Chain A
């Protein structure tokens, strides 16, 4: 088996499994005052400190959520509602068109149901938002902007955004900027304080932690309106009993992701480069998606002209190679990726894409398996054509 879908989810690190299982049999609600509660709270707060350190943030800036999707929703909806409540003129939302659906659909919803005027920032052919584009968009009327959101690195094509420059522009106009850093964490130098962001999303299971846990890094001056109301945990921003085992494991994975980042980027990046070369050798007309240089080290994304991505997926799956077409599904039906369409990719070409995403368990053998299988698979998929 060659598992090359780490961007979807990556195996839990043994250290994280150990931390989680150790906590699973421990009783304690971190909000309770008795000894059991104090013990759980200590676990949670130590994890918060660990994660804050790994991400260049203060512990109080870490708001635990059920994952990346919830953190994105909290940022998008919560910041919008809070900023609009402070000044009803602020109804303009600026978003990159290449966001993950967890951001994009929330932004779209604000437009449909909350009176937001949604503006999608222009991107170049690599899917990158340029700081001047953000400046132009805000500058047209800085007073009516609720917030802006631009992901740190793209989950499909791997392009890295100039986050710090974008944040600096937003800061000039006092507009909060949110970034979904779910894919960036562990692969790039993600430092919340240095970035100048108002809010930033991270997720546990993309970095070797457990499913169902994530966090919104949130500058202390921001109080988004909660999406989940309840007991008032997490700065009254995100209610719900804290999941101490998942949080403990998330922190372990986060610490290791930060510690190992440079080695990971070098080693996995080199494997990824091998994979890109192998694919290009086998299929000379394959088109690498995203920025060829400034991209996630574990991401390789290709368009194969004349192929249906689904056909390639089936053929590679049958050879034990697990990857993704990189686009979202409705009832399992692949739609042309909104990311590729935003970069100006031809819709037919956008149907023939594959994303290989490597991770901490990837080996030379995985790359070799792709090198062997991709040529015949593409040839066969071309015969099947576009339906």
Chain B
């Protein structure tokens, strides 16, 4: 278990219909907690978003979650959070792309839905904690405070998308999968052993509210298409696109530039300018970033004072890199990389770690590119 509690807690287990959250709920119940399962209906029209067996929005997922709850032997409800999800996650996702940034909707969902709307309602209804199938570890300190740490298994660690949780949210979070060194196969085997039919269900990877995985199509439907230029660093037009919002910093594929670069090397998206609907491309070296600023910092515990040395993670499933970071005016985080890093996209989160401990998280606003090398 994430923590051994002297008293059984009233736990609300968020059950997506997938194997992880089902095993998490089962473990919480087995640990003696009074567990109630809840499936979040995140689409007002459940079939419209997704008809496959994966993701979080289908009638099938709701049924799978209900079946799992029945087998575990816990009450089960479906809560309609579609309106909140649309406002706080889907609309935010669209607006961020429209502004030329690259959002992380899973992180936003944890911040605004699972550990805000859901947690608040759970607490109001008398629950002590919300349990999810995330891979991360909550450590209870002697002074009663809590720390969020990476999962024991770094390969499955999801602390990046939980870095937005503050101490109050963490105090009511339970991640029963976080401290197990188990492969996904072992989680599936555990589900099988527990008689959970979701044991063999495929993983969900993509964005739950984009049915076919076609993010560009999803955005084009909502933002419309507007032809613009693709230019190189000197401003020379190389091609055109249907809308700057469809691109991500560091993107290489799908640029549809007719002729190759003079040096024959691949070109990457360096900059997205929604104002004049222009996408700038260039060589991979030009993606190197030496520093960034980030806004809306969220601290897990007290905000650090003065500059400090940390490791940072810049995208989900991304590696760690050494940084110094300082909070300026209490609201802007300035991060300097020891070695330049590539492909940093505004809109993504920068999560700071001290060892395995999550220190805090902020949304990347601007980046500083390395000055071009003198020829």
Q: Does B241 contact A (CB under 8 A)?
A: no
Contact between B125 and A314, CB atoms less than 8 A apart: yes
Q: Does B159 contact A (CB under 8 A)?
A: no
Q: Which residues of A contact B82 (CB under 8 A)?
A: 333
Q: How far is the CA of A317 from the CA of B84 in the complex (A)?
A: 26
Q: How far is the CA of A346 from the CA of B82 in the complex (A)?
A: 20
Q: Does A385 contact B (CB under 8 A)?
A: yes
Contact between B77 and A310, CB atoms less than 8 A apart: yes
Q: How far is the CA of A314 from the CA of B74 in the complex (A)?
A: 12
Q: Does A25 contact B (CB under 8 A)?
A: no
Q: How far is the CA of A329 from the CA of B59 in the complex (A)?
A: 11
Q: How far is the CA of A380 from the CA of B58 in the complex (A)?
A: 30
Contact between A330 and B46, CB atoms less than 8 A apart: yes
Contact between A387 and B125, CB atoms less than 8 A apart: no
Q: A331-B46, A331-B78, A387-B121 are in contact. Are A315 and B62 (CB under 8 A)?
A: no
Q: How far is the CA of A385 from the CA of B124 in the complex (A)?
A: 8
Contact of B46 among A310, A333, A384, A387 (CB under 8 A): A333
Q: How far is the CB of B84 from chain A (nearest CB, A)?
A: 6
Q: How far is the CA of A387 from the CA of B58 in the complex (A)?
A: 20
Q: How far is the CA of A333 from the CA of B66 in the complex (A)?
A: 13
Contact between A311 and B121, CB atoms less than 8 A apart: yes
Q: A332-B62, A380-B126 are in contact. Are A387 and B84 (CB under 8 A)?
A: yes
Q: Does B289 contact A (CB under 8 A)?
A: no
Render B204-225 as a binary contact track against A, CB cut-off 8 A, 1 for contact: 0000000000000000000000
Interface residues of B in 53-101 (CB under 8 A from A): 58-59, 62-63, 66, 75, 77-84
Contact between A310 and B126, CB atoms less than 8 A apart: no
Q: How far is the CB of A181 from chain B (nearest CB, A)?
A: 31
Contact between A331 and B124, CB atoms less than 8 A apart: no
Counting chain A CB atoms within 10 Å of each CB, which of B36, B58, B83, B121 scores highest?
B121
Contact between B125 and A315, CB atoms less than 8 A apart: yes
Q: How far is the CB of B177 from chain A (nearest CB, A)?
A: 25
Interface residues of B in 344-359 (CB under 8 A from A): none
Q: Which residues of B contact A331 (CB under 8 A)?
A: 41, 46, 58-59, 62-63, 78
| Residue in B closest to A384 when the chains form the complex, CB atoms | B124
Q: A331-B46, A384-B125 are in contact. Are A310 and B75 (CB under 8 A)?
A: no
Interface size bracket, A side: 10 to 19
Counting chain A CB atoms within 10 Å of each CB, which of B46, B75, B121, B125 scores highest?
B125
Q: Which residues of A contact B66 (CB under 8 A)?
A: 332
Q: A311-B125, A332-B41, A380-B126 are in contact. Are A318 and B81 (CB under 8 A)?
A: no
| Residue in A closest to B46 when the chains form the complex, CB atoms | A331
Contact of A315 among B63, B117, B126 (CB under 8 A): B126
Contact between A332 and B125, CB atoms less than 8 A apart: no
Q: How far is the CB of A22 from chain B (nearest CB, A)?
A: 32
Q: Which residues of B contact A380 (CB under 8 A)?
A: 124-126
Q: How far is the CA of A314 from the CA of B124 in the complex (A)?
A: 12
Q: A314-B125, A332-B41 are in contact. Are A387 and B62 (CB under 8 A)?
A: no
Contact between B46 and A381, CB atoms less than 8 A apart: no
Q: How far is the CA of A105 from the CA of B63 in the complex (A)?
A: 23
Render A305-348 as a binary contact track against B, CB cut-off 8 A, 1 for contact: 00000110111011000000000011111100000000000000
Q: Which residues of B contact A314 (CB under 8 A)?
A: 36, 75, 77, 125
Q: Does B108 contact A (CB under 8 A)?
A: no
Q: Does B39 contact A (CB under 8 A)?
A: yes
Contact of B121 among A317, A318, A333, A384 (CB under 8 A): A384
Q: Which residues of B contact A313 (CB under 8 A)?
A: 77
Q: Which residues of A contact B77 (CB under 8 A)?
A: 310, 313-314, 332
Chain B residues within 8 Å of A, Cβ to Cβ: 36, 39, 41, 46, 58-59, 62-63, 66, 75, 77-84, 117, 120-121, 124-126
Give the 8 A-B residue pairs with the shortest CB-CB distance, closest first: A332-B78, A384-B124, A331-B59, A331-B46, A383-B124, A333-B41, A331-B62, A333-B80
